[in-house]
Chains A and B, each alone.
Chain A
Amino acid sequence: MSENAIKNNTTSKGMNVHARRTIAYIVLSILSFLCLIWFYILFINATRSNSGLKTGFTVIPGRFLIQNFTNMINGTVPVLNGMLNSVIVAGLSAGLCVYFSCMTAYAIHAYKFKGRNSIFTFILMIMMIPTQVTALGFISFMGKLGLMDSFVPLIVPAIAAPVAFFYMKQYMDSNLPLSLLEAARIDGCGEFKTFNSIVVPLMKPAIAVEAIFTFVSSWNNYFTPALILSTDKKKTLPILIAQLRSADWLKFDMGVVYVTIAFSIFPVIVVYLILSKYIVGGVTAGGVKE
């Protein structure tokens, strides 16, 4: 290693590798600190009592985590219910999204029909249009269909997800040879059966990545659920967090506030740490091509 450093030092006029490496480690450590400190403070504060929190910040965790948790469950904000709702909405969204995005991608990938290219172009063009710009028509049309205050408008739209479609399509381009499908046809396998029993299993890695991303974005979504859901029992976690903020929060037990925030953040962190290898790899796979 040092040989390399010396060699570099003599050949280039810039800083030597050793110094640059040290700077890189320092900057990376500072940035990592900036990313993690908030969750550390959150964890510490979630373990402390309301009166303890008022005396100032400490570095060591307190002993009130379980009590804060019980207070949260017995409190006015239906957090457990909210978590259940979030799991239902995010889980079903993720399931529908990956299955039908896979199906849409398969239609474009495997069949040569008239208008195929225009449809592909169309889907790519609508990819970046944010849902917020159609939110007004969305809630008024959902009102007409009688779907306000129901989970349907939060789950079913996941079927038409251009980003997931594009990711699946790219994965198919490199991993799903058309000859395989020909073989299935010759063996007399119906088209729908081919899709379900051959294509979907082959797409598992892509399905897993996209399922995680869809689940997380649905889990974190605040804008649309806040417009659609109005009954307390149906609200998802982000809406409940917003309620904590809008209530006269100074009267709240701050330990409970922190434990509620922790409760909505930490499940995602745990899943992420287990699956981080696939998630970080998946970020680029669906992204740009030069």
Chain B
Amino acid sequence: MSDKKYKHKQKSMVVSYNRWGYIFLIPFFVVYLVFQFIPLVTTIYNSFFENYRSGLTQIGPNFVGLQNYITIVTNGDLINYSKNTMIMWIIGFIPQIFFSLLLGAWFTDPSLRLKGQRFFKTVIYLPNLIMASAFSMLFFTLFSDNGPINSILVNLHLLAQPFKFMSNATAVRCLVGFMNFVMWFGNTTILLMAGMMGIDQSLFEAAEVDGATSTQVFWKITLPILRPILVYVLITSLIGGLQMFDVPQILTNGTGDPARSSMTLIMFLNKHLFSKNFGMGGALSVFLFIITGILSMIVFKISYAGEVK
């Protein structure tokens, strides 16, 4: 096809080749438009309307301006559920980053020469691939009032009678945080390790010559150099935390009980979507979109901006 053109003009040939760049981009942008961009616009549009069902009567859609936004902020829902989401995220994130740094430092420390690294990496990454809903269902059955965990604790005489994990706000939050920790620390370890292996070995050698302990090396060399990756891990994990859904949804059967103390933002959104309260759901989505948008910009700035030449 292009043989003939080739003989004619080098330049027009390059241009006609480059036209293919646009052609190859068509599938991505058509799909993006239909399944993400139009939905985004529809979501924002819906947030300005009063549109819900009250019993059997359909209210709206009536244009109400920013009323949905005002309602969701003033009735405390947004603040409450943001607080729940953040608490459960922090419970999981603190051990996650702690153990990831520790493991990353150990795995990349040449003087330790740990054996079985591949085995350990394989094992700690495993929970990341597990279906979160099934994992959560498993925890629910294990920690239920007469489940195996209670039976073990009672048999070992650590407890006089079964502890009702699911009726205790702190216990439920800790279980959610713990599951998130188990599912994500392997992933973070592998990311941090990649960063640690990229550090110039001569820095460590110089530190050793100067008589620095491994603790000093970690705090004074490894950590400062890792800062961009740590910020990346922190923010992507925060974005992931804001999306927290499967685990608390299945664990509490969508109620966020006890007393909605484990109801996350996305669980709240999911409730609105099922009850077809599109106005409030829209306002909540726009809030989430703005927050994740700002966080994404930070990730973009620190990690990918250099990619575009």
Interface residues of A (CB under 8 A from B): 1, 4, 8, 11-15, 17, 20-21, 24-25, 27-28, 31-32, 34-36, 38, 41-42, 45, 53-54, 56-57, 100-101, 103-104, 106-108, 110-113, 116-117, 119-121, 123-141, 153, 156-157, 159-160, 165-166, 185-186, 188, 190-192, 195, 216, 219-220, 222-223, 226-227, 237-238, 241-242, 244-246, 249, 254, 257-258, 261, 264-265, 268-269, 272-273, 276-277, 279-280, 283-284, 287-290
Contact = CB atoms under 8 A, between A and B. Distances in A.
Nearest to A258: B141
B228 A137 contact: no
Given A127-B296, A284-B190, A107 B282 contact: no
Contacts of B40: 133-134, 137
Given A241-B134, A268-B131, A279-B125, A160 B32 contact: yes
Nearest to A29: B120
Interface in B14-73: 14, 17-25, 27-29, 31-32, 34-36, 38-46
A128 B295 contact: yes
A12 B34 CA distance: 62
B42 A136 contact: yes
B76 interface: no
B74 interface: no
A8 B140 contact: no
B165 interface: no
Interface in B263-309: 266, 269-270, 272-274, 278, 281-282, 285-286, 288-289, 292-293, 295-297, 299-300, 303-304, 306-309
B23 to A, nearest CB: 8
A129 B278 contact: no
A103 B131 contact: no
B21 A290 contact: no
Contacts of B17: 111, 185, 191
Contacts of B112: 17, 20-21, 24
Given A104-B24, A132-B243, A138-B39, A280 B270 contact: no
A283 B43 contact: no
17 contacts: A12-B211, A56-B148, A57-B151, A135-B39, A135-B269, A138-B36, A140-B39, A156-B31, A159-B31, A190-B1, A222-B249, A245-B140, A257-B141, A261-B138, A269-B130, A279-B125, A290-B198
Contacts of A36: 123, 126
Contacts of A220: 129-133, 246
Given A103-B24, A107-B24, A254-B141, 12 more contacts: A32-B124, A135-B269, A136-B278, A160-B32, A166-B304, A222-B133, A223-B246, A237-B131, A241-B133, A272-B129, A280-B125, A288-B229
Nearest to A276: B122
Nearest to A100: B27
Majority DSSP secondary structure for residues of A touching B: helix
Nearest to A189: B2
Given A128-B296, A157-B31, A111 B21 contact: yes
Interface string B155-185: 1000000000000000000000000001001
How large, as a class, is the contact surface on chain B?
Answer: 35 or more
B300 to A, nearest CB: 5
B114 A24 contact: yes
B114 A273 contact: no
A134 B121 CA distance: 35
Contacts of B43: 133-137
Contact of A160 (B3, B28, B185): B28
A33 to B, nearest CB: 9
A264 B151 contact: no
B191 interface: yes
A261 to B, nearest CB: 5
A134 B39 contact: yes
B18 A111 contact: yes
B130 to A, nearest CB: 6
